[in-house]
């Protein structure tokens, strides 16, 4: 069964460093999303991506964040100058036009 794949599963980074989180969406899907979940809290929308451009972004998704679809399969989230409060689980999701499917998440720890 097709699934959304995220790498790495866990990343530890020094405060101030840049990280790139990677996602391989389901192959024929058209919509791509990134979400963040701080431990014990709700799943927060960051950004959606459609037709090779950002479709919508939340107020969380500021200049510190960027997304790219560098080739036909990968979808990345870059976080620049990481802060302690960026520590969270980051989920990627994709959909055709209906049901969205989520990856297993990348746990980012900023120290």
Partner 1 sequence: GIQVEQSPPDLILQEGANSTLRCNFSDSVNNLQWFHQNPWGQLINLFYIPSGTKQNGRLSATTVATERYSLLYISSSQTTDSGVYFCAVERRDQAGTALIFGKGTTLSVSS
Binding site for partner 1 (CB under 8 A): 31, 33, 35, 37, 42-45, 48, 50, 54-56, 58, 89, 91, 93, 95, 98-102, 104-105, 107
4 vs 110, beta carbon nearer partner 1: 4
Q: Minimum CB separation from partner 1 for residue 28, in Å?
A: 17
- b/e map of 38-48 (b: 16 or more CB within 10 Å)? eeeeeeebbbb
Nearer to partner 1, 15 or 54 (CB): 54
Q: CB nearer to partner 1: give 53 or 71.
A: 53
Residues 6+ apart with CB under 8 A from 96: 28, 29, 30, 31
C-alpha 29/C-alpha 98 separation (Å) is: 10
């Amino acid at each position: 069964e097709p699934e959304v794949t995220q790498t790495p599963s866990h990343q530890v980074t020094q405060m101030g460093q840049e990280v790139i989180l990677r996602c391989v969406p389901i192959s024929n899907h058209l919509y791509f999303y990134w979400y963040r979940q701080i431990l014990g809290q709700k799943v927060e929308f960051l950004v959606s991506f459609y037709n090779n451009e950002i479709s919508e972004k939340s107020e969380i998704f500021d200049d510190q964040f960027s997304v790219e679809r560098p080739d036909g399969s990968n979808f990345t989230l870059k976080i620049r100058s990481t802060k302690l409060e960026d520590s969270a689980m980051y989920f990627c999701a994709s959909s055709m036009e209906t049901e969205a499917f989520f990856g297993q998440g990348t746990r980012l720890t900023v120290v």
